[in-house]
């Protein structure tokens, strides 16, 4: 419910009772939010001796918590839980009221609260010459660095605390992202003094107390991260790997051979296989299995866990997924998003500029 700041305290209470509202938003003549009035504020005002004839301004809470527009649902839920609030006013840059969000609206909606580890230390050699002067995570897709897309994807589902593993041109990444406050998150950097591989870098993490995400900094996907986390918990897995189904049509007939004898013939079959999508959830107890100070790839880590009969599960990505590993992938990814800010001409210039840069 919204009332003008010149409304009397008594009239405000009558309206709240009539409309059965637990919060009232008080605005000025320009629709700017001046304060809020909740049940707790009403009790305080009555105890202080306010009379019904006095202005509601005398009773309202001026130190209210609000947000500007642009926050995703998961982030708003996390903020409300962290601050112990049930109503969240939304305002514009001039503090004009846009609306209010109620925590009860999201009562069934879960959010990500686990730490997120982003692997951003690679050389990006397959994308050279683009990565000669710019680390791969800072290459732009749709007008902003690909690592920002990943950070915002996790943030919008509720995540706040990030560890970014850096090595190649790490200073550029740290200077660009800072402590994360510009993106409404917290960032800590894990610095590799030498190449340790995806799994090896995890040995540098502080002690974890719950399962956590690990994601490559070059993966663009619409995966439901909360659903993946719940899948991991429900299956009581040691490690869950996001996987993407792929199908390849073979343009020739194929045969199955056993001891030089053909036992089966297939005409132009379709082969179905699953790709490692570069996103993992790892149970914290697995960290002790990672050796320190040596190169250790994720394939080594998964193979080791399997040898110990640990449960490894695969979470299928049904939506779009792109691994920007090679120049053609990067070019295609930007081309597909040309309508979001990249013109065909700019993509063409990107290609021409890249092929003109000499390899060292």
pLDDT digits (tens, 9 = 90+) for 237-280: 999 999 999 888 888 888 889 888 888 988 888 888 899 999 99
pLDDT at 348 over 70: no
Mean pLDDT (whole number) for 201-212: 92
pLDDT digits (tens, 9 = 90+) for 18-32: 877 778 999 988 898
pLDDT at 105 over 80: no
Tokens found for residue 143: 């007008």
Task: Please tell me the distance from the alpha carbon of residue 284 to that of residue 278, in angstroms, as a whole number.
Answer: 18
pLDDT at 227 over 80: yes
Helix (H) or strand (E) holding 305: helix 298-307
Cα dihedral 14→20→22→23 (10° resolution): -60
pLDDT digits (tens, 9 = 90+) for 275-321: 999 999 999 999 999 998 889 999 999 999 999 999 999 999 988 88
Share of the chain above pLDDT 70, in %: 90
Sequence-separated (6 or more) residues with CB below 8 Å from residue 216: 118, 119, 198, 278, 279, 323
Task: Please tell me the distance from the alpha carbon of residue 37 to that of residue 333, in angstroms, as a whole number.
Answer: 49
Which residue in this structure is represented by tokens 């979001």? 340
Give the full edge-to-edge strand order of the sheet including 2-4. Answer: 2-4, 23-27, 33-38
> Quick one: pLDDT at residue 251?
87
> Quick one: pLDDT at residue 344?
44
> Quick one: pLDDT at residue 358?
42
Q: Please give the mean pLDDT across all residues of the chain.
A: 86
pLDDT at 48 over 50: yes
Which residue would you say has higher pLDDT here, 108 or 75?
75
> Quick one: pLDDT at residue 187?
97
Which residue would you say has higher pLDDT here, 40 or 178?
178
> Quick one: pLDDT at residue 260?
86
pLDDT digits (tens, 9 = 90+) for 171-197: 999 999 999 999 999 999 999 888 888
> Quick one: pLDDT at residue 195?
86
CA-nearest of 275, 360, 359, 284 to 325 is 275
Mean pLDDT (whole number) for 200-215: 93
CA-nearest of 109, 164, 161, 149 to 320 is 149
Task: Please tell me the distance from the alpha carbon of residue 243 to that of residue 314, in angstroms, as a whole number.
Answer: 6
Mean pLDDT (whole number) for 146-150: 93
> Quick one: pLDDT at residue 16?
85
Task: Please tell me the distance from the alpha carbon of residue 134 to that of residue 179, in angstroms, as a whole number.
Answer: 20
Task: Please tell me the distance from the alpha carbon of residue 94 to that of residue 229, in angstroms, as a whole number.
Answer: 38
Work out the burial of residue 354: count CB atoms within 10 Å of its CB; fewer than 13 is exposed, 13-18 middle, 19 or more buried.
middle
Sequence-separated (6 or more) residues with CB below 8 Å from residue 219: 150, 277, 278, 279, 321, 322, 323, 324
Which pLDDT band, with edges at 50, 70 and 90, does 336 fall under? low
């Amino acid at each position: 419910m919204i009332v003008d700041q010149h409304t009397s305290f008594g009239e405000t209470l009558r309206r709240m009772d009539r409309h059965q509202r637990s919060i009232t938003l008080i605005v000025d003549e320009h629709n700017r939010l001046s304060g809020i009035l909740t049940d707790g504020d009403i009790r305080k005002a009555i105890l202080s001796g306010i009379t019904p004839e006095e202005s509601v301004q005398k009773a309202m809470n001026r130190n209210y918590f609000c947000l500007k527009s642009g926050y995703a649902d998961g982030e708003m839920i996390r903020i409300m839980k962290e601050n112990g609030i049930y109503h969240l006013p939304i305002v514009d840059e001039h503090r004009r009221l846009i609306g209010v969000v109620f925590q009860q609206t999201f009562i069934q909606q879960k959010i990500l609260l686990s730490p997120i580890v982003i692997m951003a230390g690679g050389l990006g050699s397959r994308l050279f010459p683009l990565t000669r002067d710019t680390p791969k995570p800072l290459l732009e897709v749709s007008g902003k660095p690909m690592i920002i897309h990943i950070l915002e994807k996790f943030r919008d589902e509720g995540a706040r605390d990030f560890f970014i593993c850096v090595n190649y041109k790490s200073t550029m990444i740290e200077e660009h992202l800072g402590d994360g406050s510009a993106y409404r998150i917290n960032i800590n950097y894990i610095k590799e003094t030498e190449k340790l591989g995806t799994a090896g870098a995890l040995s540098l993490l502080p002690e974890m107390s719950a399962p956590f995400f690990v994601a490559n900094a070059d993966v663009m996907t619409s995966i439901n991260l909360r659903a993946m986390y719940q899948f991991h918990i429900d299956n009581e897995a040691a490690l869950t790997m996001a996987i993407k189904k792929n199908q390849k049509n073979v343009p020739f007939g194929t045969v199955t051979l056993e001891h030089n004898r053909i036992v089966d013939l297939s005409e132009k079959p379709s082969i179905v296989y699953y790709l490692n999508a570069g996103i993992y959830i790892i149970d914290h107890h697995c960290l002790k299995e990672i050796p320190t100070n040596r190169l250790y790839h994720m394939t080594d880590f998964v193979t080791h866990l399997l040898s110990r009969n640990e449960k490894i599960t695969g979470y299928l990505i049904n939506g779009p997924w792109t691994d920007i590993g090679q120049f053609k992938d990067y070019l295609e990814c930007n081309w597909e998003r040309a309508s979001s800010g990249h013109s065909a001409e700019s993509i063409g210039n990107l290609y021409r500029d890249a092929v003109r840069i000499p390899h060292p």
